[in-house]
Amino acid sequence: MAAGHNNVAAVGTSASNAKYGTSYLASYSQGTSHAQVAVLKANLRQYRSITPSYLWTSTTSLEGNTSNSFDAATKANLIVFQNNTGLTADGIYGAGSRNAMHASIGVSPKGWVRIFKSTPGYVNYNDTAEGLSADATYKLDHSWCTSACRDTLYSLGYSFYSYYNKLIQVNDACLLDGADTPEHSTHQTGTEVDIRNAGLTTAQATKFLEICIANANVKRVIYYTTHGLTSNKILVQSDHGDHFHVDTFS
């Protein structure tokens, strides 16, 4: 399965389908017939097998249900999954449910890990309502990176939070399988992450740059200005006015 999905049921748009030669739907609901519905059923069976049985006492099993048809049992199982992962329990499988499924059972062939939905140091913008809405063109999950990179993100965010009581917003890292992404010319190594600067004052943006410079695992930060700082870790590029691009060593 291509385009950042691997073992998890894929969603897509006309733009992403054109890019990857796929035929994924933006969402799947009761009455839909599609090959990805069978994948979704397998995902739900796996998720059900690793969660407490009492969650499913009134929900029809999907064992042996391997067709491409999104039936009432699929919807019922999906609603339990959505409830248990903090989603709107509407029984519709879209990008938000795909992201939650990635976080629950996603497997990266690169050995990467998924950036957490939220921590005391950061928020994963890809998992917010605003972030999901902003990604309407491709509906891809840019939330995967190396474990060392994820640890570094936490360290950067926690250090920033200790100064300003404000969480940084992690935007795009890489796709689960390292596939080329139409939204970035890089982001395929598992060591590249964008941090939004929305809502940051000049002082806060400067402090974040200082925190990055001081972190041993940060190799480079691309931003539109140095804010007066001098460091060979900062690379100024005018097209990075709305985010910091952070490269880590590992």
Cβ neighbours of 228 (radius 10 Å): 8
Angle formed by the axes of helices 202-214 and 147-164, to 10°?
140
CA distance 137 to 233: 32
Position 104 pLDDT exceeds 60: yes
Range 48-64 average pLDDT: 97
Query: Residue 2 — very low, low, confident or very high, per pLDDT cuts 50/70/90?
Result: low
pLDDT at res. 185: 77
- The overall average pLDDT reported for the chain is 96
Q: Among 63, 68, 82, 62, which residue's Cα sits nearest to residue 39?
A: 68
Q: Using one digit for the tens of pLDDT, what is the confidence trace for 142-193?
A: 999 999 999 999 999 999 999 999 999 999 999 999 999 888 878 999 999 9
Rounded CA gap, 150 and 18, in Å?
31
In percent, the amount of the chain with pLDDT more than 70 equals: 99
For the chain, which domains are there? 111-250 (3.30.1380.10)
Is the pLDDT reported for residue 194 higher than 60?
Answer: yes
Q: Region 104-110: what's the mean pLDDT?
A: 97
